[in-house]
Structure 1
Amino acid sequence: MLKYELIPGQLLYEGLITNENLYSPGLVSEDVILLTHQRDYWERLRDLTLSPPEIRRSGFPLSQELIDRERQIAQGTIEGCHYAMQYGIAFNVAGGTHHAGSNWAEGFCLLNDQAIAANYLLNRELAHSVLIIDLDVHQGNGTAEIFRCNPNVFTFSIHAEKNFPFRKEQSDLDIGLHAGTHDEEYLDILTKHLEPLFEKAKPDFVFYLSGVDVLSTDKLGHLALSREGCKMRDQLVLSLCKSRKVPVQVSMGGGYSPQIIDIVEAHCNTYRIADHIFI
């Protein structure tokens, strides 16, 4: 997608980042993938032998290039975790592939990058209690399914209720919003739940999925946040991570506004807010 090139380009143009702040990940290893995804699913995905219905559900024609891209995204999120532990926060300009379950691809998501990274941290005892804050407009059904029975990971999703995926999984806390939910109502709901979430989960690492498909301009989202409301959403989440001294990895998630400037500016605002809070 074009936004993956435009976001870092804009941040470089503004001087908010330099080339030293950018990294290019390799491919996540199979042993790490298998901490999250079932072996049979991964091997059929790897070998390009998913069934036609599975391929249709993924939303993509299956190719080696696509598999490598998904592995690179997941590795980018893992490497971002290490940077977050060092600097407080790190970003994956892509990622947010939260519809991929333990044994399925769905909604343009083949490997679940934040779930893979969370299991990587837990497996290596780099974290013991993980909180996943998913504020993409679509429910993170794959993430919810993967961690359904894992007491070390708390999954939290605020999403448009009557939107994709139409068969939802159960997160530890789901809040489904009605169509047209605007800034004030959205931010009130988020504010009400964030502090208690941190108290309950007591995370030592946070994953934040900061999709901008919550914007009123988004053609797929059905919510009605302004660009400023989306920015305030990010400020609430990142400020709490900073005040609680919990490292946070951010994956950018969805954004489908017809005008690319709406997508890029909303995503860049997440970086601008992080720069203000963490620098």
Structure 2
Amino acid sequence: MRRVLCREFADPERFETVEEPTPVAGPGEVVVEVEAAAVSFVDGLIARGGYQLRPPLPFTPGTAVAGTTGGRRVAALLTSFGGFASHVRVPADALVPVPDGVGAGVAASSMESHGTMAFALRDRVAVRPGEWVVVLGASGGIGQAAVDHARAAGARVLAVASTPDKRDAALAAGAEAAIGYDGLKDAIRAHTGGGADVVVDPVGGDAAEAALRALGTGGRFCVLGFTSGGIPRLPANIVLLRNRTVVGVDWGDWSRTDPAASRDLAAQVLRRIAAGELHPAEPDALPLDDAAVATRAYAERTAVGKLVLTP
């Protein structure tokens, strides 16, 4: 087998690709031959030691894979990392069947991004038909998933992205309109007729407060992450005004706390994709040796949509 090895908490350029004996399944386990391993912004944070979880060194990054085992097409969320590899040992009860018509790349890349948004809209905040949902960072993996899920819920989506090509990607994902970050508060209010109902924010930084101030009465602000690198200090008085709500969405903690529920939600997401209810784009695929390139693309915010590694 081949796998990416992180020997120290450092820039992903220090990754190594090593060859080792193929793992053997233990009791209650299977070995999945990986066809696609999802890459995310968090993978780079973990590799640098900048995330709240610091796995024992050395370790192999990656928490979502799709492939085959025993002739079955499966996907899995990995609670102990290890996804950037050609083979991975997985508890048999963690497997999620991949329906016909859903490719390995889409299955792997949707487990986290679409799983996060399914959790957000089922467990953390309700979106009603006709409401305006504003998505920051709308061209990224989480952003495109947010657009997709909000549209599936019957909402109207205003995408926010930094460049014309990223805004085009958000429109292709189903957003009704797309804007940049300049004059964000006023632009959101103008497009939504006075104020947004929901903001989905995986970006943080200065844009967060502007978007919070653009919420209408009863608006809900969903905190998903800080890809900009800046953690905002949201003013409590702005939350108080007009009965706004700030909601944290930590899918990772929930999935580790209740892996069975997380597996069931991932299976539901893949079924909805197969049924045509959700429409994730095919991710860009890179070889395993380009794991550093893929994680750097997220860190530098140059990635559009999702990336997967194909061992």
**Same fold judged by TM-score > 0.5?**
no
Structure with the higher fraction of residues in strand conformation: 2
Question: Smaller-chain TM-score range?
Answer: 0.3 to 0.5
Greater Cα radius of gyration, structure 1 or 2 = 2
Structure with the higher fraction of residues in helix conformation: 1
